[in-house]
Amino acid sequence: VEPFKTYLNLIENELAQLELNKQPHELYEPIRYILSLGGKRIRPVLTLTACEAFGGNPLNAKYAALAIEVFHNFTLMHDDIMDKAPLRRNKPTVHTKWNETIAILSGDTMFVYSQLLMLKSPDKHIKTLLELFNKTAIEVCEGQQLDMNFEQQQQVSIPSYINMIALKTAVLLATSLKIGAIIADADTNNCNLIYEYGKNLGIAFQLQDDILDVYGNPDKFGKQVGGDIISNKKTFLLLKALELAKINPYKLSELQNWLQVSTKHAKEKVEAITEIYNFLGIKEIAENEMKKYLNKALQSLDSTSLNTNYKELFKSFAHSLMLRQT
């Protein structure tokens, strides 16, 4: 979305200017590295845009926006250790390029640093902002723990899956927007509505991610298509397939057999499970679920007192997220 470009540039500039060229360099170099890997910077851009949209001066939200981006990258650094991920945005992860110890401690330092950035927000909002920011940070940790728990659990219900992605992904998007609104002195009702917009959009975003992993265009999709299938990741698609296959014992055992197949037969596994998804109509069901949350988001947006231009802006942003290929 075009109007976001200015804010994206502002964030990139500010990130590059953070005073992170410090000693001991073992601690700060990985922080500069992960922040330099790029990314869509969706969260800080949303903070600045929400602040502007609710009539505030976006520059007042600059440090809060940076705090959120630094916090987000801290969670990536620690999640990558826990998930044993070798790559992040096609570059070696911090614990791969350096080691786990460095990734733990640099991550901790980033988290402290995000608090210091948030503290540079306008005085009158500091307590509210930090309470919201840290409440959200706890939720993100809970979401990551639930995600890891699900790997070990036999049964995961769709509502608990939605709750997990809400905590792990959606609440931080929601908080990014609400923080912008708070700094703009928006009233409580507007703050809560823009939070709901962000939260439902975040859930829709993650569902779209699950869909793209299987049905994304391999040329455009950044990751390996079928990665979730290969690793038996309990996505919405797999959970729904396991639920629907229950009434068809033959399909259920076929699906369960493929889940036992080792990664040596990755290509066949992806093809076979995709076939089962197609047979059960999983793609449409997942798209409908995604649209349900997208519509919830747009309803909340519509209930805000934002003017039409900004409603349209956030609406097209939502649609652009859902139409993305990566």
Q: In the bound complex, what is the minimum distance in angstroms from residue 81's beta carbon to a second copy?
A: 6
Q: Are the beta carbons of 47 and 61 closer than 8 angstroms?
A: yes
Beta carbon nearer to a second copy, 164 or 177: 164
Q: What is the DSSP string of 265-288?
A: GHHHHHHHHHHHHHHHTHHHHHHH
Among 16, 59, 112, 158, binds a second copy (CB under 8 A): 112
- By CB under 8 A, residue 144 contacts a second copy: yes
- By CB under 8 A, residue 192 contacts a second copy: no
CA 15, distance to chain mean position in Å, is 19
Q: What is the DSSP string of 154-168?
A: S---HHHHHHHHIII
CA 65, distance to chain mean position in Å, is 15
Q: Whole-angstrom Cα distance, residue 162 to residue 170?
A: 10
- By CB under 8 A, residue 300 contacts a second copy: no
- Cα end-to-end span (Å), the chain: 15
Phi and psi of 220, rounded to 5°?
-100, -30
Beta carbon nearer to a second copy, 26 or 302: 26
- Angstrom distances, CA of residue 56 to CA of 130, 139, 309: 19, 27, 16
User: Coil, strand or helix: which one is 32?
Assistant: helix
Judged on CB neighbours under 10 Å (0-12, 13-18, 19+), 284 is exposed
Q: DSSP 3-state helix, strand, coil percentages of the chain (rounded to 5)?
A: 80, 0, 20
Pull the structure tokens for residue 3: 């109007």
User: Coil, strand or helix: which one is 73?
Assistant: helix
Give, in degrees to the nearest 5, the angle at Cα 20 between 107 and 17: 120
- By CB under 8 A, residue 252 contacts a second copy: no
- By CB under 8 A, residue 82 contacts a second copy: yes
Beta carbon nearer to a second copy, 169 or 208: 169
Beta carbon nearer to a second copy, 77 or 173: 77
Binding segment (CB under 8 A) for a second copy, from list 37-45, 74-82, 197-205, 244-252: 74-82
Among 16, 87, 116, 259, binds a second copy (CB under 8 A): 116
Binding string, residues 16-45; x marks residues near a second copy by CB under 8 A: -------xx-xx------------------
Among 101, 153, 157, 278, binds a second copy (CB under 8 A): 101
Q: In the bound complex, what is the minimum distance in angstroms from residue 109's beta carbon to a second copy?
A: 4
- By CB under 8 A, residue 135 contacts a second copy: yes
- By CB under 8 A, residue 148 contacts a second copy: yes
Among 90, 123, 188, 263, binds a second copy (CB under 8 A): 123
Binding segment (CB under 8 A) for a second copy, from list 113-121, 259-267, 270-278, 292-300: 113-121
Binding segment (CB under 8 A) for a second copy, from list 53-61, 146-154, 215-223, 291-299: 146-154
- By CB under 8 A, residue 105 contacts a second copy: yes
Q: Whole-angstrom Cα distance, residue 11 to residue 45?
A: 7
Q: Whole-angstrom Cα distance, residue 66 to residue 95?
A: 23
Among 37, 85, 130, 156, binds a second copy (CB under 8 A): 130
Instruction: Say which DSSP state 123 is in.
Output: G
- By CB under 8 A, residue 156 contacts a second copy: no
Q: Which residues bind a second copy (CB under 8 A)?
A: 23-24, 26-27, 78, 81-82, 100-101, 104-105, 107-109, 111-113, 115-116, 119, 123, 126-127, 130-131, 134-135, 137-138, 141-142, 144-146, 148-149
